[in-house]
Amino acid sequence: MATTRRHFLETTAAVPLAAAAAQEKKVSANDHIQFATIGVGGMGSEDTRSARAQDGVKLVAVCDLYDGRLTRAKEVWGKDISTTRDYRELLQRKDIDAVVIATPDHWHARIASDAMEAGKDVYLEKPMVQKIPDGQKLTQVEKRTGRILQVGSQRVSSIVYQKAKELLEAGAIGELNLVEAWWDRNSAIGAWEYSIPPDASPETVDWDRFLGNAPKHPFDANRFFRWRCYRDYGTGVAGDLFVHLFSGLHFVTGAIGPTRVYSTGGLRFWNDGRDVPDVLLGVYDYPAHGKLPAFNLALRVNFVNGGSENSGFRFVGSEGTLAIGGGVTVSKVPRETEPGYTIGTFAEAAQKEFLREYNRKYPHSEPAADAIRPQSEERYNPPRGYSDHLDHHRNFFHAVRTRKPVVENTVFGLRAAGPALLSNMSHFDERIYDWDPETMRIKS
Ligand SMILES: NC(=O)c1ccc[n+]([C@@H]2O[C@H](COP(=O)([O-])OP(=O)(O)OC[C@H]3O[C@@H](n4cnc5c(N)ncnc54)[C@H](O)[C@@H]3O)[C@@H](O)[C@H]2O)c1
């Protein structure tokens, strides 16, 4: 059976798209895709659940560096799955078609590159890379190997973001001039202080393998289980959360990235040994692109927000605003049709003359029609329980079957990760960075 499935996957890789789509319909019930998850912590487990929920998709193996998570994987997904600490063992297996990579950020590029070279399709968690030059390399490997790589910022597959995109393109808020987006939290777990298991030790954790190319450091359970707090392994709040906001923004607007990046922030509250800020602000210049006008972007993450977790977008246009939260809301308050006046400080004669001229230009009866300008609000809500994460995995496995390209490929992934990583650089280097979104390179 594995041979049939493998044969199907390999033959579809070589046929034109239309033919591949037709062929997809002919897949027999036995043709399934076998995948493995590399990194089965919080997100790897979520990804595995969403992947397993897809038709014709089977989990056969997992890889992790903490034994407890390998044990847990068997408890949850069955004793039949194989487990390992070494992801290369999985890449050598002929019966594995695709891998989900949900390791800490410093391992993303290396494992994704090795996986594509080994002929696997890849679902790679965001941010695509920890360092910008690795992004360009990954793009080359994707191109050369012809593998599917989808980055795991799931809002790119969301029907909510799709609706926002359609509304924006249809001119629902006129011409875009500003976008504000934020991700605020106010809890220890929200600020990445994840639980450390009681059996964490150099015996149960493969510490040397975890470090990889990161600087040498003695075993530290905190660094292993709370890796986001350290620049050696993570990418700060910008790589963790700004990147989702860039992905959502680029999907909705069709923008490919900013030309100027400035970011500043600080460590204001979670002084637990971390070396990254817990409050970060970013401002960005987006140039005109296709039909999209130039606009500005303001991003914020605040892990000490004095309230509860919330995240959203506000697109501001010449005719209204479009907000994304759980759904999409378009609000409009028409502009006043008269300019009005501010003449109280003028001499009386000047006021009279001004009013004569004003009333001649804007003759109106009292009360001004403007006083009852209509306000409108339209809301679009997704069905209860809707999961963009399931849709994102559906899109990935659809691409694996049909060989049709995914939206969130390595170029899309780098165009989101690049400005997010530059935000960190801007904050730490205390300077503005110029970015070329076309070539995805730092200009100065
Ligand atoms: N798409 C989303 O909404 C979303 C949400 C959360 C996290 N993420 C991303 O998912 C990734 C994982 O985050 P997390 O919160 O699950 O972290 P986590 O610490 O819970 O899990 C990471 C796991 O990777 C394992 N690991 C580390 N190095 C490895 C290696 N070389 N080979 C195999 N396994 C290795 C660790 O043992 C750990 O179990 C990150 O890149 C993060 O940015 C995405």
pLDDT at position 1: 31
* Residue having the nearest C-alpha atom to atom 11 of ligand 1: 102
Interval between CA 243 and ligand 1 midpoint (Å): 15
Residues in the chain, total: 444
pLDDT of residue 30: 47
Q: Which residues of the chain have pLDDT under 50?
A: 1-30
Question: Residues with beta carbon inside 6 Å of ligand 1?
Answer: 38-44, 63-66, 69, 87, 102-105, 107, 125-126, 152-154, 209-210, 240
Closest Cα to atom 18, ligand 1: which residue?
41
Atom number, ligand 1, closest to the C-alpha of residue 69: 39
What pTM does this model have? 0.92
Atom 7, ligand 1: which residue's CA is nearest? 43
- Nearest Cα residue to atom 27 of ligand 1: 103
Q: Does domain 159-310+413-442 match CATH 3.30.360.10? A: yes
Q: From residue 443, how far is each of 131, 222, 435 by CA, in Å?
A: 16, 37, 5
Model confidence pLDDT, tens digit, residues 200-218: 999 999 999 999 999 999 9
Residues 239 and 221: their CA atoms lie apart, in Å, by 22
Task: Determine the distance separating the centroid of ligand 1 and the alpha carbon of 178, expressed in angstroms.
Answer: 33
Closest to 393 (Cα-Cα) out of 53, 141, 83: 53
> What is the reported pLDDT for 282?
98
**CATH code of domain 2-156+395-402:** 3.40.50.720
Q: What is the pLDDT of residue 368?
A: 57
pLDDT at 16: 35
Task: Give me ligand 1 centre to Cα 104, in Å.
Answer: 4
b or e along 341-364 (b: 16 or more beta carbons within 10 Å of the residue's beta carbon)? Answer: eeeeeeeeeeeeeeeeeeeeeeee
The answer to whether the CB of 205 falls within 8 A of the CB of 198 is no
| pLDDT value of residue 2 | 37
pLDDT of residue 70: 98
pLDDT score for 328: 98
Q: Where are the domains of the chain?
A: 2-156+395-402, 159-310+413-442
Q: How far is the CA of 339 from the centre of ligand 1 (A)?
A: 55
